[in-house]
Amino acid sequence: MRSRPAPPVPDHARNTLAATTAPIALITGASRGIGRLLAQKLGARGVTVVINYKKNADLAEESLADVRAAGGDGITVQADIEDPASLDAMFDLVRETYGRLDMFVANAAASAFKPVAQLKLHHLDRSYATNARSFVLGAQRAAELMDRGGRIVVVTSYGSLRAFPTYAALGAAKAMTESYMQYMAVEFGPRQITVNAVNGGLIDTDSLDYFYNAVPGMAPIDTVLSKVPLQRPGTADDMADAVDFLLSDKASYITGQILSVDGGLTVIAPPFWADTTAPLRDAVLPPVGAVDVDAAE
């Protein structure tokens, strides 16, 4: 893999070393979706946010503008986390710009959606590199910069816990990150660094839309949502709020844990309530076609 040169220090980030007492956070994949919302929430807490992006500099700048509008500050950094040299350059920039780091969120993810029998070597290599390896290498560099303790959170998904069509490469990589997370929690704990995971279910993002509408032959999303106890998808805000909590002082004694944000998806099993009929169905689910009086008003 070809290494890449270190990204240049943005003009607005020069001469800031030791100039800020605000907490410093680095979020991968923070130009859109969950990462962007999280960056904004951290900005509202006065955090200085390093917004990582892979390709779209304009979206990253918009995310940074959101952070500043919320009351925080930060910089944008282009880096391909699949490339260890690019990942290293990003952390070098954090060190050179701020000298420390307080929070690291491994949020970016990518993979191929195929049955196991159709996965090629490059599918396996890229899924591992982008999801698992980048988290381990990133956490190593982050911990080095957390000289006063810190928080590390990795965003995973329910494919690490349950098997469903075409998700093997990503689900297995996410399971690996959760296992590494627990080892890190033990080994980084003496340095007062907590390490946790937020495991998302069916979250209404571009990724969910792609999975259910672009993967050939995938089951319709409505047939899946009907099985979820809360009978709706989660939101990017739901995920960002969970990560924000684990990054806060309120979670200072929580480490090595997987926080599921899935509407109850991972606690159900067949036979599903959605597949039952009257009179059993009527004991739990509202009658088909029932009107929510409060909502109607």
pLDDT in tens, 139-165: 999 999 999 999 999 999 999 999 989
- DSSP letter string, 145-206: H-BTBEEEEEEEEGGGTS--TT-HHHHHHHHHHHHHHHHHHHHHGGGTEEEEEEEE-SEESH
Q: Given 167, 180, 183, 250, which residue is catalytic? A: 167
What is the average pLDDT across 204-226?
91
Render 6-58 in DSSP notation, one character per residue: PPPPPGGGTT-TTT--S-EEEETT-SSHHHHHHHHHHHHTT-EEEEEESS-HH
Cα(145)–Cα(91) distance, integer angstroms: 9
List, for residues 61-81, the tens digit of each pLDDT value: 999 999 999 999 999 999 999
Give the pLDDT score at 246: 98
Does residue 7 carry a pLDDT above 90? no
The fraction of the chain above a pLDDT of 70, given in percent, is 90
89-139 pLDDT, tens per residue?
999 999 999 999 999 999 988 888 999 999 999 999 999 999 999 999 999
Q: How many CA atoms lie within 13 A of 145 on its CB side?
A: 27
pLDDT category of residue 291 using cuts at 50, 70 and 90 = very low
Residue 293 has pLDDT above 80, yes or no: no
The predicted structure's pLDDT at residue 290: 55
pLDDT of residue 286: 76
Query: Are 156 and 200 in contact, with CB atoms under 8 Å apart?
Result: yes
- State the Cα–Cα distance between residues 295 and 292, nearest whole angstrom: 5
User: Among candidates 290, 243, 240, 233, which has minimal Cα distance to 265?
Assistant: 233
Among residues 28, 35, 262, which one has the least CA distance to residue 159?
262
| Mean pLDDT (whole number) for 31-54 | 97
Catalytic residue among 54, 158, 174, 180: 174
Confidence of residue 17 (pLDDT cuts 50, 70, 90): low
Residue 116 is encoded by which pair of tokens?
A: 């196991």
Label residue 12 by pLDDT band (50, 70, 90): very low
Is 167 an annotated catalytic residue? yes
User: What pLDDT score does 4 carry?
Assistant: 46
So what's the pLDDT on residue 267? 94
Which residues, in sequence order, are bridge partners of residue 260?
199
The answer on pLDDT for 231 being more than 90 is yes
Tokens of 284: 């739990």
CB atoms within 10 A of CB 274: 17
| pLDDT exceeds 50 at position 13 | no
Note the pTM of the prediction, 2 decimals. Answer: 0.89
**Average pLDDT in the chain:** 90
Residue 285's pLDDT is 85
User: Averaged over 53-65, what is the pLDDT?
Assistant: 96
